[in-house]
Amino acid sequence: MNPTPDSPATEPAPEADWVRWRHDFHRFPETGFDEHRTAERIAQVLTLLGLEVQRGVGGTGVVATLRAGSGRGVVGLRADMDALAITENAPQRAHTSAHPGRMHACGHDGHMAMLLGAAQLLAEGGGFDGTVRFVFQPAEEHGRGAAAMLADGLLARFPMDEIYGLHNMPGIAAGRFATRVGAIMASEDNFVIRIHGRGGHAARPHQLVDPLVIGAEIVLALQTIVSRSVDPQQPAVVSCTGFHTDGIRNAVPSEVVISGDTRSYAPEVQALLERRMRELCDGICRAHGASCEVEYTHEFAPTVNHAAGVAAALEAARRVVGTGRVDADTPPVMASEDFGRFLLHLPGAFVFIGNGAGSEPGATPLHNAGYDFNDALVPLGARWFAELVRLRLPVIAEERP
């Protein structure tokens, strides 16, 4: 009997079963901290593979442990679990979402299947000496799951020497691995600016303090932060994405709320963006006789790869797909990834695996209602994770005092 999400077993699963796991996750997507069915399916498979399984880490997270031999090294492998609040538009797809308004539009269903496949390869094939932690993280999409697991004692309860993760990437040829040393994905900070003016009749603007005009000036002024305050060699983005008022057609509002986000790769740039935003908003409002509050929150840490981890990730990829399908210096992207918070505490690396480019089916962008994870990647990712373990555990053992 082959393991399926509904009936796991300890016999070896062919790659087709790993893909069926992926389709099951895709049919029943769950958003951040609501991944109850997903977590239970994961725990069932891991338990019947013989791993030690801990549920409920950081809410709905799952951590499983696999040991072999007497090696003291510990490698962590991480996959994200949550879906997005998007209605899937793929009626022809046999495994389309059964939950209206939710879908795996970012490929976390595939990431989970890859990591489960790696657990099975290592549990049944061995070839390593030490300990592997399989970390299934909730709530990646909003940047809260990693922090929740860490706050729940992840590293104290399940110590690790290193940690690794991956993400599928439409726009890169299917099955091609890509990573780089240093910053590979950006931080994301969110902001809300509340401007308090004095509203009134649109026919008598001289009696008012117009927060619309002030808000428009602030939106334009914020664009000078990157162009005039940030070192041109340091990437950064400031985006205003919302502008809301309490006004009506013939009345100037009293309140305006501007929302948006900023992205960067370095903590000092994050700090600069926040400081200049507060200074500009306060100064412009004071100049017009208004007041404001700036709420600025740090949602995602930048994802910054460690050199030794990248070297290992690249070598594992070469062993799986060959040297010609591995990019050792891929350009960084301004999107954010919650894995970056783990790399603040542990060495390791994060890589991209191509989901498809050009006319390939997997080229549909992430967070698109028609997106689907490329099933051909599941065995590649599973073998990559397993190769990483076999490569790194002997090195960790040698480096330990």
- The active-site residue, picked from 80, 82, 162, 188, is 82
Name the 3-class secondary structure at 359.
coil
What is the chain's mean pLDDT, rounded? Answer: 95
Told to judge if 40 belongs to the known catalytic residues of this protein, a careful annotator would answer no
pLDDT, residue 400, reads: 77
pLDDT, residue 10, reads: 38
Contact predicate 386/118, CB 8 Å:
yes
pLDDT, residue 279, reads: 98
Residue 5 has pLDDT above 60, yes or no: no
- Specify the pairing of strand 255-264 against strand 236-245: antiparallel
Please give the share of the chain, as a percent, with pLDDT higher than 90.
95
Please tell me the distance from the alpha carbon of residue 216 to that of residue 290, in angstroms, as a whole number.
14
CA-based torsion, 392, 394, 398, 400: positive or negative = positive
- Domain segments of the chain as ranges: 15-181+306-399, 186-300
Distances (CA, A) of 357 to 153, 168, 329, 360: 40, 12, 18, 5
Please tell me the distance from the alpha carbon of residue 331 to that of residue 339, in angstroms, as a whole number.
18
Phi, psi of 330 (to 5 degrees): -70, 145
Mean of pLDDT values over 289-297: 98
pLDDT, residue 47, reads: 98
Phi, psi of 60 (to 5 degrees): -110, 10
Mean of pLDDT values over 104-128: 97
Residue 126 has pLDDT above 80, yes or no: yes
Q: pLDDT tens digits, residue range 141-174? A: 999 999 999 999 999 999 999 999 999 999 999 9
pLDDT confidence tier of residue 12, bands split at 50, 70 and 90? very low
Residue with tokens 């609040």: 85
Mean of pLDDT values over 381-393: 98
In terms of Cβ atoms closer than 10 Å to its own Cβ (0-12, 13-18, 19+), residue 365 is exposed
Could you say which of 3.20.20.70, 3.40.630.10, 1.10.12.10, 3.60.20.10 is the CATH number of the domain covering 15-181+306-399? 3.40.630.10
- Specify the pairing of strand 255-264 against strand 303-305: unpaired
Residue 72: partners with Cβ closer than 8 Å, 6 or more residues away: 130, 396, 397, 400
For residue 111, give the nearest of 179, 65, 175, 167 by alpha carbon: 167
Mean of pLDDT values over 71-85: 98
Phi, psi of 81 (to 5 degrees): -115, -25
Q: pLDDT tens digits, residue range 301-310? A: 999 999 999 9
pLDDT, residue 361, reads: 85
pLDDT confidence tier of residue 7, bands split at 50, 70 and 90? very low
pLDDT, residue 285, reads: 98
Phi, psi of 104 (to 5 degrees): -85, 80
H helix intervals, 126-169: 145-151, 154-157
Mean of pLDDT values over 271-278: 98
Q: pLDDT tens digits, residue range 179-221? A: 999 999 999 999 999 999 999 999 999 999 999 999 999 999 9
Residue 1 has pLDDT above 60, yes or no: no
Q: pLDDT tens digits, residue range 309-355? A: 999 999 999 999 999 999 999 999 999 999 999 999 999 999 999 99
- The active-site residue, picked from 140, 141, 161, 338, is 140
pLDDT confidence tier of residue 401, bands split at 50, 70 and 90? confident
pLDDT confidence tier of residue 82, bands split at 50, 70 and 90? very high
Told to judge if 372 belongs to the known catalytic residues of this protein, a careful annotator would answer no
- Specify the pairing of strand 177-178 against strand 326-327: parallel
Contact predicate 193/378, CB 8 Å:
no
pLDDT, residue 389, reads: 98
Joined together, the tokens standing for residue 126 give 């061995």
- Going by CATH, does the domain composed of 186-300 fall within 3.30.70.360? yes
Contact predicate 340/185, CB 8 Å:
yes
Q: pLDDT tens digits, residue range 44-73? A: 999 999 999 999 999 999 999 999 999 999
Give me the DSSP letters along 319-354. HHH-GGGEESSPPPEEEE-THHHHHTTS-EEEEEEE
Q: Provide the whole-model pTM.
A: 0.93
